[in-house]
Each structure stands twice: as structure tokens, then as C-alpha cells.
Structure 1
Amino acid sequence: MRIAAREVHLHAPFESVAADISHLADAMIEGALRASTEYLSPRFSPLVTDETPSMEVTFCVLAMGKLGGQELNFSSDIDLLFIYSASGHTPEDSPQSATTEEYYRKLCELMIRLLSERTAEGHVFRVDTRLRPFGKSGPLACSLGSAVDYYSTYGRAWERQALIKARPCAGDFQLGELLLEQLRPFFYPRYFDDATLEDIRSVKRQMENVIASKSQADREVKLGRGGIRDIEFTVQMLQMLHGGRWQEIRTPNTLEALRALGQRQRIQPFDAVTLERNYIFLRGIEHRLQIQGGRQTHMLPEPGPELDTLAHRLGYINGDSFMNVYRERTSETRAILEQFLATRGDGNLWVIELLEPESACADGLKKLASLGFRDPGRAREELLLLANGPDDAPYTRETAQQFSAVTPFLLEALGQTPDPDGALLRFSQILGRLPVPATLYNLLKYHRNLSSYLIALVSNSDYLSEMLLRDISLLDLIGTPGHIDMPSRREDLEQILSDLEAAADPAPALYRLRDGEVLKVALREILLGIPVTAVGDELSRLAEVILARSLSRARARTTERYGTTSAAFAIVALGKFGGRELGYGSDLDLVFVHEDEETARFDISTSPTEYFASIASQVIKSLKEPTRYGLLYDVDARLRPDGNKGALAIPAQRFRQYYREEAYFWEKFALMKVRAVAGDADFAARIEAEARHLAFSMRLERSGLEELETMRAKLAAAAPHLDLKRREGGIAEIEFATRLLQLRHAGEHPDLERGGVFGALELLCEKSLLPEPEYSILREGYVFFRRLLNRSRMMRGCASSCLPDTPGIAARLAQSLGIEGSLPEQIESYTASIHQVYLRIYNALRDETASSCKKESL
């Protein structure tokens, strides 16, 4: 009554009146929430989350519609959305047990009854909850995660508009703001397409058809032509078009949004003023209609005494004079709306024509040609297939619309590739195997960066593309804006793994971590051009995290079966893993070492040899055994002391003795790349230091050199011509030359005791132990070959050190790396130069050792 008196007798401004009514509603909702919570509290203790039992579940009521915009009228329904923070349950000491869904259904039903149930004193507010996810068929309250999933996957055009008006009004406001923040890209997208705009126009047309069918368009203040909803529709459409770029436009209040749009010149200033004036005019009429009748109505009376009475209360002489003004104002509003109903999205109307099978689409074909497609007609056929599906299993209209929405930036990303036609064909072939392509289209629609990621993968790697399409949810791991900009730290990977293990199905956690991180590293290489050293370092860090978790699980299972021991355990890596130089699909060279029996306590039911062999074998099995998720890594444990004939896990003393007294020169040579990668930190570091000392302290003798050269020559003789690792002048010769120089000079330069090739080459050059020209040849050749192998493995999904001999694939490989000229000629040039450098280094060291032998014999 107070608020109504302020409007009728004191002529309070519309905004003030609407805000007062909305504040009253907020207070009533908060009161209903508190009363309902108190009523349920004797039976249910505060709920806790399933994931973290020490954390309580929180709850928020969001206002939608007019209440969300603080524009409530005297007889409005209140549109509410209920959310809770996470799935959970009552604690064990609760008088009654309930899940979050059960408890909040009771709470919401009680709130709704308190607010809307008619009593002798009337009711407080009618409550409408149909704007919730899945509408009337959905739960009254949903979790934050399920709400985000719903809108991201199923959200429709009208739901974008509804969320523009949302704001927290009771309960945990931070939770409500968090929901809106996570959904902001959905209802305020940075770019808008014509298909989505057409969806919004379609909703508007349906509403108008309903009103027109009832012959009410001229008297319906809210839904009629030029009425309140036309103004709100215009403002909300402009907010959706521009809110992704300008924060000040993001407000649930219609008049605030209108003024911000005017200031940003997204609407003509005169039109903004006109719409503001007409909105206040129409809302004033709505208020008087509802005060006068005491009911929810938006319909003007028929000409006659009732219309005259309304006109007098609004300050007009009679009904005719009022209706003249009303028609003038609604015509102004409608004319402005009509301008924006013709608005296009981001210039992509050509896409709709391109995807319409019956259209000639001349503009669309020209656009494809301008993007670099050599055969626009064939490209269009592939686009039609992606949009509509095959003739024998056509997609739904919704799927076609979703593809239309993502087509512009998919084509833009394809146009950036070396071969747009080929990339589109591979994209089409891969997506053709998806049972529900709409899921991917919808995901790409709201995460534009994923389009460029996906096209980059499709253009460069069938293997990685198929890995991604086996599990589309991997996009969640790589799709966050800025995610690929920085390398993952170890703690980042460990946190991702913990989150994956906490999922409903933790079994694929290690595989999903591996796949997601390999995809990220590949995208960093393709899109950001990170060097091969960074690729090796990041893939090695990933392997360390996976290996550590595999070891932890193996130790736990072995302890459970055999008992406990204080004996320390370590895993050391050799080869590429030892040098932090892993590539895509590289295997892991591992050696397992445990503390000696004499220095540890064993409370186990088996021998120490069997105990640690069990741990080692479980680690190897968990990494290399094929599963339905694939396999993690191939593991090679043959470089351990005594090879396949020796124990799988070696006692520390035997490890030292073997390399001191029995190992061949080439075995110590391989030990130069030793690095501790998992296990008990102090013990592992000690084993690494001792192994490195054993490797770098060996004498460089002629017999060892010749043994090594014989091995290299056999490898080169047996290697195919395109084997970049083993062939003459290949990667193996670069590594051999580098390690020979390290071995020769490590006595005077201890900092040369390192496993990585790049670091060793740089130090050798800095210390003038390797001439600058030879350093350049070895380093540039190593980079060139490693880039080729990485991209070849990425492209084909195999760990072969041989390049493909198919001309088409070889050309695609060179093109993807931006290599100009003849690839075979460049390979021959590098191998010839590298082989000369290797021979010079080998012969110099052989002659030096021969001279030393003569002096000793004298």
C-alpha cells in the first residue's frame, strides 16, 4: 500500500517504484528461505559436499525476469532459479539422511508454498520456476556444475535472454555470482552469428503469433506490437550482440542497459531516449491497470467508460486522447525494433546461403576462394555434409544450425592452414565418425579458441585428432583461453590428475592426463612454435608425473600383499627420457634400483628380490599394457645390468659393481644420460650421482672407441635411407659425437656431466672444445631432424625414426613445418655435413688414445 500510494499520490518515478517492489520481493524471498531452513533444520543437519566432506553445501536463489532487473510491477509473478554449490549429502550424525537433490527439493517446495499459497490474508507473490534447466521436467534446484553443463550443452536462444536478467537475491550471493560468471560467455558471447540471431527472431515471432491469433495486438501493453516486450527484446538483443565486448552493457536492468547502449553508440541517442520514455510510459500504464483491477493484467479495456477511467488516472482527458498517444508511442517503439530485427551477426549471412543446398551461394563460393580454398565447390560439398549429415542418416535441424554457427570461424581457421582443402577433407572424414557431432559443434560454438586448436590438430595429425575425438571431453582440459600459452608445471599436472581421479570413473585418469597434455604440447608446438627442447622437456615432465603415480600404486599393492619395508627404491631413466628429450610416442628406458638388504629393515613375506621385482613389473605393466583407453608408454628395461638375464630390480650394490667391473663401454656410454625420475628422493638422487660418476669417470680408450664405432656402423648399414636416427649422418652420430667430447673433457670440466644433447653442445662450444662451425652443424642438424621426427610421429601416431616414403605424406610433412625447397636434398645436405663432423671428432679422439697408449707402453 505504501508503494502504491507513493506512485498514485506522490507521483514517485517509475524506477523508484519498481525498485521498491523488487526490494520487497527480495526481502520476502530471503525470509522464506530462512523460515524454510529453520523448519527443516531439526530433521537435517547442514549438508556437506561429496568431494570434500568438511565443506558445507551452499544455496542461492537467483531472480530472473522483472525481479532480476529490479523492475517488478504490482502484480508480477516472480521468476526464480535455485542452485546449490555441489552434490552432497547430510552428515552421518544427521537425524534424517538426504542427498542434496532430495533436501533442496523439500526446501524449494516449502519456500514456494510460503510465498505463493493463498491464505485468508491473500498470498505474497506467485512463483514461477519454469526458467530452470530442463523447465518443468527438471529438478527444482540443481548444482552449479549441472547448471553450467546444461546451458553449455542444451542452452537455447531464449535462455540466453533469460540469463541476462539473472541476479542473486537470497542465500549465498557469491555462489550466484560464480554461476553467472561461468555462464557469461553463453549469454554474452564475444561474437554473434546469423543463425543464433535467427533463433532469437523466431522466438519473437512465435510470441507475436500467439497475441495476433487472439486479436489482442493493439491492446496488449506487454506483448502487443510496440509494447513492453518489444522494448525489452530490443535491449536484450543489443546486449547479447555487444555485451561480450563492453562490460557496462551487462546489467539486468532495462533502463540501465539502454543508457549504456546509447553511451556506447550501439543505438542512436534519439532512439535510446525514445525507448526509455516509452518504456516508462508503458510500465506506468501496466502499474495502473494492476492497481485498478488488483490482478495480473496487461490488457487495455475496450473503448468505453473503463478506458476513460484509466485515461483520467493517467492524466488524459478521455480514452480517445490516451489511445492516440498510446498508438503513437507503440508505433515509434516498433519502428526502432524493426531496424534491429534486420540486424545481421558478424557479417556471416553468406554462411547460411552456403549451407542451404538449393542456394546458388555465389557470395559463399567467393568467400571460400578468398580464404584459400582451391576448389570451393568441393569444399562446399564437405560443408553441406558436415551440416546436414549423409543422405541415409541426416542430422537434425538443430545440428545444422549449430554447425552454421561455428562455420565462420572454422573456415577462418582452415584458411590459416597450408592446405585448406585437405584440412577440411580430413576434418570432415574424422567428424563423420562421430555418432553425435552436435555435441562437438555446440562446444565449439561457445569456445572459439577450440576451433583453431581442432583445425591445427586435424591439419597436422590424424593420430592426435583421433585421440581427441575418442574423448571429446579432452577439450575441457585444453580449451580454457590462455591454457596453451604457458607450459604445465609439475604441480599443475598433479592437480589435474587428482581432479581426474576424483571423477565418477577414475580408471582412465592417467590416460586422460596423458592425452590432454600431449594435445596441449602439440598445440604449443604447432601454434606457438615452441622449440624442440621445450617439447622434450614438457613431454618428459608429463611422463615423470605418470610414472610417479604408477609407482605409488604399485608400492601400495605390493605392501598390501607382502608387507612393509624401510628399503628405499628408485627408478632412473636413460636415453631420451634421461636427457629430457622425449618425443611423441617415445618409449621409456628405465632401470629399477633398490636399497641393499644389509642396510634396510624388511617385514615382508617374500624375498627382497621378489618384493621389488613385483613393484617394477607392476609399474611396467601399468604403463605398457593395452587397455580400452590405449596404452600409456612402451617401456624398455633391457639397459639394466645383465640385461634380460638380470633381476628386474637391482640392489644398489650390484648396480655399482656391474658398472664398475663388468659393463661394456657402450653400456657406460648409455649411462651418461642417467637421471632419477621417480622413487624415494634422497636415495634416487644418490643413485643418479653415483651412476653419473661411474659413466663420466671411465677412461676413453681405443678399444672402447672402436667398439662404439663398430656398433654405429652396423646401425647405419642396416638403417633405411629415411631413418633419421640411425643412418649415416643422423641423430645417433650427433649424440655419439657430443657424448665422446663430454667424456673426453668432463675431467677438467665437471659441468659437462649432463644428459641433454643441447645443453652439452652449448657448453662444449662456450668452452672452445667444439669449433663454432661444427657446433652450428650439429645443433642445427639436431633441431632439423628432431622437428621432422616429432611432426612425423605426431602426424602418423607411430614412434618410428623413419620418415614416410609416400610422396604426398612427405610433402604434407614439409608443408606443415614451413620447409621450402626439396626436403630430400636438405636431409642429404645435413647428413653429409654431420657425418664429416662426426668422423673428424672420432678420428681425433682415436688418434689421441692411440698416442696415449704408445706413451704408456714406452
Structure 2
Amino acid sequence: MPDPWPGILFLIFSIVMESFGRFRAVEEALEAFQQFSEFARTKFKAHPDWLEWIKSREISDPGHFRGPGRLNIDWMESLSRYPSTLQGRIEALKQLKQREILRIGFFDFSLVWNLEKVLKNLSLVADFCLEILLKLAKEGHPPFCSFPFAIMSMGKLGGNELNYSSDIDLVFIHNGSDDHHDNANRLGKKIVQLFSFAHGGFYRIDLRLRPEGHSGILVPSLKYCENYYFSLGESWERMALIKARRSAGDSALAYEFEILRSLFSFPKHLTEEMFEEVIEIKSRIEKEVLAEDSRKRNIKLGEGGIREIEFIVQAFQVVYGARFPILQGRSTLETLDCLYECGLIPGKEVEELKRAYVFFRQLENRLQMVADLQTHLIPDNEKAKEAIASSLGLELEQFETLIESHRATVRRLFSSLFPLSNEKKEFIFNLEIFSDPQKAKRDLQSLEGGHSFRTIKSLRRLLPLLEEKLKNMVDPNLCLSRFVQFTDKYGLKSMLFESLASSPKALELLLRLFDSSSFFTEILLFQPELFEDVCRSDGLYTKKTVDDFYSELALIDKDHKIRFRIYRKGELFRIFLRDILGLANLLEIEEEYTALAEAILKRAVQLCHAHSNAIIGMGRLGGKELGYGSDLDCLFIGNNLSGALELNRFFSEMSPVGILYNFDFRLRPHGEGPIVLDEKVYEDYYRTQALFWEIQALHRARFVCGDEQKAQKFIRFVDELWLDWSNHIPWQEFFALRERIQKERDSHVPPIYRFKTSPGGLLDIELGLQIWLMLRKIREPSLWKGFLWLEKEDPQASHAAQKGYLFLRKVESVLRRERNSPVSVLPVEGQSQEKLAKLLGFKSAKDFMEYYSQVLESNLKLFERLTSQKLP
């Protein structure tokens, strides 16, 4: 008896060979495909030759590969059937695309190809079309070929996971110079225009994933992309860039973008807080994008859908991709296997996610295959639902059970894999620290409103620290309001919040700045970058000299008026921060302010051709004691009036960034007339007409810059004059002047509030020490050095003088820095006085006023002691 098995095996082989996927033959499969897909019926009816083409042995062979070369041959052959215009070539390309989609859909519907093969072939066709469109866009435009240009695909196309009716997410990039920017954008616009020529049935493109989205540059340079992603890039952009892949254009440029993708999407230092952000993004999609009635039907964005699987994969890639390079791939299914290999997700759960992903992507393809529409909604019509189920080889009940089962599994795994997905207690700001809680509440709402998740997350980290620091501020309401203004001006809020949350000292410094000065707050709001520039440099710990400032000013080679003003503001800001941080004492702050003014004077004298005049510093400039809001008391000696006038304009002319300094020439002869005079005029005036107070003012005279020979001659004259007057001090005139000043200056407030001219105020210490030095024939411009002379003879008096003077100068400094302007009286109003007291370290205004009164009393006694006279 013959062996039956060879015949049986031949019969089985014949059946297998004749069957086509889940159908018995190609014809049966094609018939079912047309019944299922309205799109297929319409196209085959319009193009009967396409049906014959698919039936052909070569094309119906699932193993036949149709790559870019074969597609290009078919496209070239089809061109003869269309007008020889650009529109005709685009139409030929569209028809080629639709025919290829039908072939892929047919193999998909018949279950001849698995999901991965279907998605890769759909992506391959899209890549081919993009290469052709780029070629067509460049034709006839030589400038478009003069720089590297690439089309990077994102999303499903980037991952080689494209479906039938999805938009294709693209980013255009170039690597030309700034001169190529316009042509790069013109090329980008041309490509967009070519897509529109297809008039439907082609690809819809989405360019919103480029840097800054729809408001960004259409074709950014590679450098622009780098700057954007690493300064402004959000976590969702890290996830999106995972899929970035070259679809068309310059390969070398695409490779450089690939390096950028690797560094940005897979950072070395990223915490699992990233998972919390994924939860927030997904929650926002469910709330804002999906209507309530579509959440259960949407297999992409709904609960337990495709997007949750993609989020799981991409979040793990971003967090662990740098540690495990194997995770840096683009395919969702391949990466799921890698997550298991890296020990990040158990094998059982990986398999569950893969099964759900394959099922939902196949279902997605079926939904879109029906009418070539971009949909992710399961139909609510029973008949339509049955057709979809049948196309997957399932009964309706099985189909619905599988959907619910996979949804539940994905949602369960999504929740379990993100440990930070549990609800956290929202931080509640303590409004009791504010004098005006409602105002603070509005400011906090403004601070929290309208930000990306990354920014909100950074702000949440910052808020507890912000509350802690605000508690220690004198005026928390004011500090918070100014902080909100600063964040609005700063621009990169996520970076700012992250930086401040990581640096409590920087946050405290910023708030103390807002607490201390309106003037410096305004500088910072005008130039927000100053804060970071100063804090990052060593400048806060450096006391600059005249030479240091001068060297930096010498580097400014144009627009001197404006750029000198900007430079000065930056340096004032730096010195101010040194002050409020306690990195320099009052004497050092005054010396540095003076050095800045001197350096600007020295450089400006050259620029204004005024160097033939000698500039003598008087007052606090002469004593190297310039402070906030100080004018420059000067004498100009020489004959160069035009240079002096130009210098005065250079300093005091108002510009959009303010002035440099105001000169004060009131100490010149008669306090009026030309601002520059010959030395002989000065000598004649001081010898024959000057009053004693004018002579006394000369004790501060010091050469600053300009003609040194003239200056030294004048200084020798001053020394002789000073010595001569010290032999016959007119005491009556001296005391009469002091009394008149005390009565007339700041007479609008009670004497106790006049910290400068009140008995025992700053004026008494200055006048008293000057007279003491004059009695000993010592001319010392620096008051601080004058105290050292006093210390040699009377240490107790010197200590008392320095203590009283320093306290009042600190009071003055705190008041002056508010507006960077002269102030000589205390605030009378209670709230302002309270703030001053706290800024000076007192618990209350009462404590401050008690100590202040004691200082005035002590200084008055010291004045009597220094003058060796009893007050009349």
C-alpha cells in the first residue's frame, strides 16, 4: 500500500500556496477588501487598471519589495499621462501614493503583512514623496541648492510607524549662514505650497513641532534649534524629538541633528519627576482635547489607548536613555522589548503592552482604511462596528471584550509604572505674611497663570522657598509684586524658576534687591540679564579700581554716550548687590563708586577733547566718598571752554538710558559764570573775595584727571591757602553759617528728622572734624583718613566720631538707594519709618528713633569737643 503522506503534504502545500492571508485566494481577498473600504471601491472604480495591477503576480506577491528606486521608476513612467507642468507632476505623485496605499492596505486587511511591515511600508512611501517634493521645490532655483537643507520627520512617520490617514509631522532645518536664512524660509514655503497643489488625497503636513511651534521660524537653522531646545525645550519636546528622523534632504545635516536629538532627548541628569509631567500632559489631553462622549471610543487619546502606551515608552526613554543607549530607538514595539532587557519593565507587562499596542494600531488602520479619513473613534453604529470586527477576524462580542480588556490593562500598567502619579498635596501659600493678603493673592495667581507644565513644575518647587524668603523681607507685598514683574520681563520662566529653586541664596538676593531699591529694581526690569550676568561672574567678590574700570571702558569703541550709560548702570547694580549682601563695608562701597566715576571722567575727558583742562574733585568726589545719587562736585581749571561744555553734555544729556552724572559747579567763584576758569582767576578770587566756608570746602580738593601740571599747581596753591587760613579761623562766621544751615535747610520737617543738618547730624561731624584738622594745619580730603589723624591724638573721640558718622551715613545710604537720589531727612510717615528701621536691622521704628536720638546727642557733644568751643 503506497504511503499517503506525500500526497497529503502536497495537497496542504497547494492549499497554503493558493490561500491569501485569511482568505482562500487573492480574488476573494480583493472582493472583501472593496466591500470593507469605500476608499478602495472608489479608487478601483476610477482606476480599473489599478485593480489589474494589484492582481498581477509580481504586485500581489507579499514578498515583493517596492523601495524608493522602484517607486521612482513608476512615477517617471506615469508622468506621460499628466500635463508636463509642476501641477501635473504633483498629481502623478499623488496618484502613485494612493495606489501604493491601496496595495499596503490590501496586504494589511488580508493579514498577509504584520503590523510592523505595514507601518514601515506606509512610512517608506511618505519618505519617497518628501524626497520628490524637495527635489521639485529646488528645481529652477539655484539659491535653494546653496546650503544644506533637510526635512526631519517626527511623530509616527519619524518612528516608521505611519498609519493611513495621519498627518505627517515635519521640521524643516538648514545649516547655512545668516545670509541663507531668507532663502531657507522661501524653500520651506515652496514645499508647503507643493503640498497644497495636490488638492486633497495627499498628505496633510503639521509643522507645529518646530521650535516655538506655529509662531516660530518656518525653517530654523541647526544652531537656532540647538539654542532653543537646550534653553527653552520642554519635556514634551524631549519626548517628541525621540522620533526625529531624516525623511529627505541633506544626510550630513540630518546626522548633526541626530546628535542634537541624542543629547536633548536623553539627558544625563533627569529625575523621575519626568513621570509626573507625563501624567499631567496625559490628564490635560483627556480633559481639554477629548469630549466626554468620545473618551471611551477614542483608541488613541482615551483611557488605556495608544497614547498611554507611547507615553510609557517615551518617558522611560527620556529618563533612562542616557544610561541605556539601547533605549534610544524610535520604534515603540522594539523599545518595549529593550525596556524588558534593561530590567525596567517586567516581561509579562511588556508582552501585555505589546499585544495592546498591536491590536489598537491594527484597529486604527481599519478605522482609517474605510474612507481614508483621520479618525480614532470606534463607530457607535453596530453594523459598522461588526464590519471592523470582522476585518480583524473577530466576532463583535470578542472585539468589544478585547477593547475593554486592553484598555483596562494599559490603564493599570500606566498607573503602576508612574510612582509619582498619586495626587500630591498642593502647596498653599501663607498669605498671613502679607500686609495686603488680597494683593498678594492676585500676584500669586498672576505668577502661576498660563504656563507650560515644565514652568508650573519648576514654580511648584520654588513656591515654598519663595514663602520662606518673603517672610524675612521688610515689605513682602512689594517684593512679591516686583518678583512677578521681573519674571514677566525675564522671558525664560522655567529656567528662572528652576535656577532660583536650586539656589536659595540667589532668590534671597533678588528679593532683598526688590526690598531695598526702586531704582535698582527698575534697572533690573530694563536689563533682566544683568542679574544672571553679575551673579555668575566673580564681580560680586571683586573691588574694582580706577584702572580696572578704565580698562573695561577702553574696550567700548563706539556709541560711547549710550554704552557708557549702560556700563555705568551695570556697575552700579553690581556694587549695589555687594552692598546689600554685606560683601563690602560702606567705606569700600564709597571708594568703588568713586573709582567708577573717576574712570568714566578720565575716559570721557579724552573723548571730549577736554584733557587740556584740570579736573579737581570737591566734596565727596574729592574725599572718595561718593554714594547713591551723588553728584560730582568739580572745579574745571583751564581755558578749554568748548571741551568743558562737551564733557558736561556728555555726562548730563538725557538719553533713553538716562544720564551719566550731574556735575555740580557751585563751588566755583561766585557759584556762577563759565564752568571752566583759568587758575589765576581762582587764585585771585580765593585770595581776595572768598568766604570762609569756601575756603573750608577746599579741604576736599583733589586732582582727578586732565592736565596734571595745572592740577598740581592749583593743589599747591590750595595747600598754602589752607595753611594761611588755619592761623586765623573766623569762629563767628563759622558758627553763624552752621546755625543758618540748620535753620533754613529742610525746614519743612522738624529738626529731629534732619539727619544731615540737625544738631549732631552729619554736617556737625564733617564740620567739626574739618575744623579740628585745620587747627592742626592738616588738609586731608578724605574724612575717613581724617578720623585716623584724630585717633592718634584722641582715640576715644575718634571712635565716637566714626561710630556716629558711620551710622548716619548708613541711614543716608539706605534712604538714597531707594531712588538713587539725594536724601537728607528721615521719613516722617510711620510705615516708611518702620521700613527704614527694619532695613537698618532694628525691630521697630521706635527702637530706631531711640538709638538715632542718642547718636545725635553724642555727635553734638563731639562737635563741641572737636571745635573746642561751647555753642553760643
- Normalised by the size of structure 1, how large is the TM-score? 0.60
Q: Deviations over 1:607-648 (max 9, x none)?
A: x54x224314423541xx5x77665543312234x2534532
Quick check: 519-528 or 249-258, which moved more? 249-258
Map of 2:838 onto structure 1: 815
The answer on whether the counterparts of 2:448 and 2:456 sit within 8 Å (CA) in structure 1 is no
CA distance in 2, matches of 1:548, 1:18: 73
**1:416 and 2:469 are equivalent in the alignment:** yes
Q: Write the deviation string for residues 382-405 of structure 1: whole angstroms up to 9, x where unpaired.
A: 23433679xxxxx99749999998
Matches within 5 A, 1:451-490: 452=508, 455-462=511-518, 464-465=520-521, 467=522, 472-479=525-532, 482-483=535-536, 486-487=539-540
User: Judging changes above 3 Å, is the alpha-carbon distance between structure 1 residues 78 and 628 closer, same or farther for their aligned structure 2 residues?
Assistant: same
The residue that corresponds to 1:213 in the other structure is 294
CA distance in 2, matches of 1:493, 1:425: 37
Q: Using the TM superposition, give the Cα deviation of residue 424 of structure 1 relative to its aligned residue in structure 2, in angstroms.
A: 1.5
**Per-residue deviation at 1:809?**
1.9
Q: CA deviation at 1:815?
A: 0.9
Out of 411, 418, 422, the position equivalent to 1:334 is: 411
- Displacement after TM superposition at 1:789 (Å): 0.9
- Alignment RMSD: 7.0
Alignment of 1:86-165 (within 5 A): 100=181, 102-109=182-189, 128-132=206-210, 135-136=213-214, 139-141=217-219, 162=240
| 1:285-434 correspondence runs (5 A) | 331-338=408-415, 343=420, 349-351=426-428, 367-369=430-432, 372-373=433-434, 379=437, 381-386=438-443, 398=450, 409=462, 412-413=465-466, 415-417=468-470, 422-424=475-477
Could you tell me which of 790, 793, 798 is aligned with 2:813? Answer: 790
Does the 8 A contact of 1:79 with 1:129 survive in 2?
yes
Contact 2:167 2:204 in 1 (8 A): yes
Q: Distance in 2 between matches of 1:483 and 1:614?
A: 39
Question: Residue 141 of structure 1 aligns to a residue in which SS?
Answer: coil
Deviation at 1:453, TM superposition (A): 5.6
Write out per-residue CA displacement over residues 406-426 of structure 1, whole angstroms, 9 at most, x where no aligned residue: 588467545535676953168
Q: Residues of 2 paired with 1:660 and 1:482: CA distance?
A: 52
Any idea what SS the aligned residue of 1:591 has? strand
Match of 1:525 in 2: 579
Go from structure 1 to structure 2 and tell me whether the alpha carbon gap of 1:289 and 1:421 turns closer, same or farther (over 3 Å shift).
same
Partner of residue 729, structure 2: 706
1:635 alignment counterpart: 663
**Could you tell me which residue of structure 2 aligns to residue 731 of structure 1?**
762
The residue matched to 2:626 in structure 1 has which SS?
coil
Look up the SS of the partner of 1:801 in the other structure.
coil
Query: How many positions carry a matched residue from both structures?
Result: 720
Output aligned runs, 1:608-757, within 5 Å: 608-609=640-641, 611-619=642-650, 621-622=652-653, 632-640=660-668, 642-650=669-677, 670-671=697-698, 673=700, 683=706, 695=718, 700-701=723-724, 703=726, 706-707=729-730, 710-711=733-734, 714-715=737-738, 718-719=741-742, 720-735=751-766, 755-757=781-783
Post-superposition offset of 1:785: 1.7
Structure 1 position 105, deviation (Å): 1.1
Structure 2: distance between partners of 1:815 and 1:612: 47
Which of 201, 205, 211 is residue 283 of structure 2 equivalent to?
201
Please give the secondary structure, in 1, of the residue aligned with 2:667.
coil
Q: Which runs of 5+ in 1 are unaligned?
A: 9-13, 47-57, 91-99, 261-267, 312-316, 352-363, 390-394, 556-564, 597-607, 748-752, 845-858
Deviates more, 1:801-810 or 1:612-621: 612-621
Which moved further from structure 2: 695-704 or 20-29?
Answer: 20-29
- Structure 1 residue 478, shift from structure 2 partner: 2.2
Structure 1 residue 479, shift from structure 2 partner: 4.6
Which of 806, 825, 828 matches 2:853?
A: 828
What SS class does the counterpart of residue 385 from structure 1 fall into?
A: helix
Kindly provide the amino acid, as one letter, of the partner of residue 129 in structure 1. Answer: L
Structure 2 residue runs of 5 or longer lacking an equivalent are 1-64, 69-106, 108-114, 336-341, 379-383, 501-505, 743-750
Residue pair 2:172, 2:218 contacting (<8 A) in 1 also? yes
2:828 counterpart residue number:
805
Distance (Å, rounded) in 2 between the aligned partners of 1:400 and 1:423: 27
Give the counterpart of 2:627 among 564, 583, 598. 583
- CA distance in 2 between counterparts of 1:762 and 1:62 reads 73
* 2:496 counterpart residue number: 447
Query: How big is each residue's C-alpha offset from its partner over 1:658-703, in whole Å with a ceiling of 9 and x where there is no partner?
Result: 789987776565455456666xxxx456666665555556664564
Separation in 1, partners of 2:590, 2:261: 39
Matched letter for residue 383 of structure 1: A
Whether contact under 8 Å (1:33, 1:170) holds in the other structure is no
Are residues 400 and 188 of structure 1, via their aligned partners in 2, closer, same or farther at CA, if it must alter by over 3 Å?
closer
Q: Report the residue type matching 1:424 in the other structure.
A: N
Please give the residue correspondences for 1:836-847 in structure 2 after superposition, counting only pairs within 5 Å.
836-837=861-862, 839-843=864-868
Q: Given that residues 63 and 166 in structure 1 are in contact (C-alpha distance below 8 angstroms), is that contact kept between their aligned partners in structure 2?
A: yes
Gap change, CA 1:634 and 1:303, over 3 Å in 2: same
Counterparts of 2:587 and 2:697, CA distance in 1: 20
Residue 784 of structure 1: CA displacement?
Answer: 1.8
The answer to which of 808-817 and 155-164 deviates more is 155-164
Q: Which moved more, 1:249-258 or 1:154-163?
A: 249-258
1:781 aligns to 2:804 (yes or no): yes
Deviates further, 193-202 or 697-706: 193-202
Contact 1:65 1:78 in 2 (8 A): yes
Q: CA 1:333–1:612 in 2, change beyond 3 Å: closer, same or farther?
A: same
Q: Partner of 2:636: helix, strand, or coil?
A: strand
Q: What secondary structure sits across from 1:535 in the alignment?
A: helix
CA distance in 2, matches of 1:781, 1:254: 72
Q: Per-residue displacement from partner, 1:328-375 (whole Å, max 9, x unpaired)? A: 676444224346889589966144xxxxxxxxxxxx6xx445xx45x7
Q: Give, in whole Å, the separation in 1 of the partners of 2:594 and 2:417.
A: 55
1-structure distance, mates of 2:719, 2:266: 59
Return the alpha-carbon distance in structure 2 between the equivalents of residues 193 and 734 of structure 1: 66
Change (3 A) 1:269 1:578: farther
CA change 1:824–1:116 in 2 (3 A) is same
Question: C-alpha separation between the residues in 2 aligned to 1:493 and 1:345?
Answer: 59
Contact 1:289-1:298 at 8 Å conserved across structures = no
SS, match of residue 706 in structure 1: coil
Q: 1:831 to 1:215 in 2, by over 3 A?
A: closer
Q: Which has the larger radius of gyration?
A: 2
- Code of the residue aligned with 1:634 in structure 2: it is N
Aligned to 2:88: none
Query: Are 1:225 and 1:330, in contact at CA under 8 Å, matched by a contact in 2?
Result: yes
3-state SS in 2 of match to 1:769: helix
Checking the alignment, whether the CA contact within 8 Å between 2:632 and 2:662 is kept in structure 1 is yes
| Stretch of structure 1 that moved more, 521-530 or 396-405 | 396-405
Quote the offset at 1:713 in angstroms: 6.3
* Amino acid in structure 2 at the alignment position of 1:386: D
CA distance in 2, matches of 1:251, 1:746: 85
Contact 2:617 2:702 in 1 (8 A): yes
How far off its partner does 1:140 sit? 0.9
